Structure 1
């Protein structure tokens, strides 16, 4: 980069990117929860997703920071889109199965095997994605971002009773779908 270009970027930075570091600090834990959820619990993938989302937000900050609407909601969507892009990029990877003799000995201790838990997690993510937008938002805020119902109501601009109804409807719908897919607890 030439000296003139770096001088121009430095001169433009305060006005274009002001507020971005504060926004990142305020939303880091909530966006981390969304990234961890989208990565199905894989901390390394969640870090990659969150970094990609922050980069995308930074590039768009001059445009999005002055618009009406919730920047937090925009950031959550950016994290979800970053996760979709991550999995799209990595879906092209080829997996190779080990020959039967090279497989580690399986010992079952009664816990759900990792692959099964991952499959169940992926199915739950798909089921949540099928919820109506308001219910999906409430589930994301309450269960993934660990917000109280009052905090969720304030962020959504709704009454706490409305949030409770959305949450109850979402849970009933998810329970019904889980039973229909045969994932209900046995025992």
Structure 2
């Protein structure tokens, strides 16, 4: 069976960008590798459905990031309703050099306790280094909302961690 140009083009995109998408999904899921893979798979499936249009617009990466964030927010909503918690986290996520694994776990635990939109804002701003404007576009909200959600999230994390948040810098 011959692969269409559309499929070949999409496969090339996936090969080039799947790792970047996983680097976004991992902190969204607080290191849950399986959930991160699932989010990326959902995002890629949704992206494929619209690939003909997206591919022509040259905004596939931004569109894929938006789908990924929306998939996370949707899933987090569902999980919140079920009130299920997982104890499986960071099992295969090795810390980066110079990073204290205990500190990383502490920060990720605090991150997991944030409301879903604040959680997403922190991940996009501090783990992915997106600016306020890009974060607002990805989340479908105003820049002011991103700023206020970031401020609230950092204040909550400061209270949960009982210390300054220079630790976020080390998680990038």
> TM-score band, normalised by the shorter chain?
0.5 to 0.7
Unaligned runs of 5+ in 1: 1-9, 97-110, 131-135, 144-151, 157-169
Looking at structure 1, the residues matched to 108 and 26 of structure 2 have their Cα atoms a distance apart, in angstroms, of 13
Conserved in 2, the CA contact under 8 Å of 1:17 and 1:61? no
- 2:163 equivalent to 1:185: yes
Q: CA RMSD in A?
A: 3.9
| 1:95 CA drift (Å) | 4.9
- 2:118 equivalent to 1:126: yes
Looking at structure 2, the residues matched to 75 and 38 of structure 1 have their Cα atoms a distance apart, in angstroms, of 15
Give 2:57's aligned residue: 67
Give 1:5's aligned residue: none
| 1:51 CA drift (Å) | 0.8
Match of 2:36 among 43, 46, 49: 46
| 1:126 CA drift (Å) | 1.7
Superposition TM-score, scaled by structure 2 size: 0.56
1:79-115 CA-to-partner distances (Å, cap 9, x unmatched) read 111111222233332559xxxxxxxxxxxxxx57x6x
Match of 2:25 among 35, 52, 59: 35
- 2:72 equivalent to 1:80: no
* More contact order relative to length (CA 8 Å, sep ≥ 6): 2
* Partner SS, residue 163 of structure 2: coil
Paired residues in the alignment total 128
CA pair 181-53 structure 1, distance change in 2 beyond 3 A: same
Unaligned runs of 5+ in 2: 86-101, 135-146, 165-172
Conserved in 2, the CA contact under 8 Å of 1:36 and 1:42? yes
Superposition TM-score, scaled by structure 1 size: 0.52
Rg: which structure is higher? 1
Query: What does 1:1-187 correspond to in 2, within 5 Å?
Result: 14-68=4-58, 70-95=59-84, 117-122=107-112, 123=114, 126=118, 129=121, 139-142=126-129, 177-178=154-155, 181-182=158-159, 183-185=161-163
| 1:14 CA drift (Å) | 1.6
Conserved in 1, the CA contact under 8 Å of 2:25 and 2:68? yes
Conserved in 1, the CA contact under 8 Å of 2:111 and 2:119? no
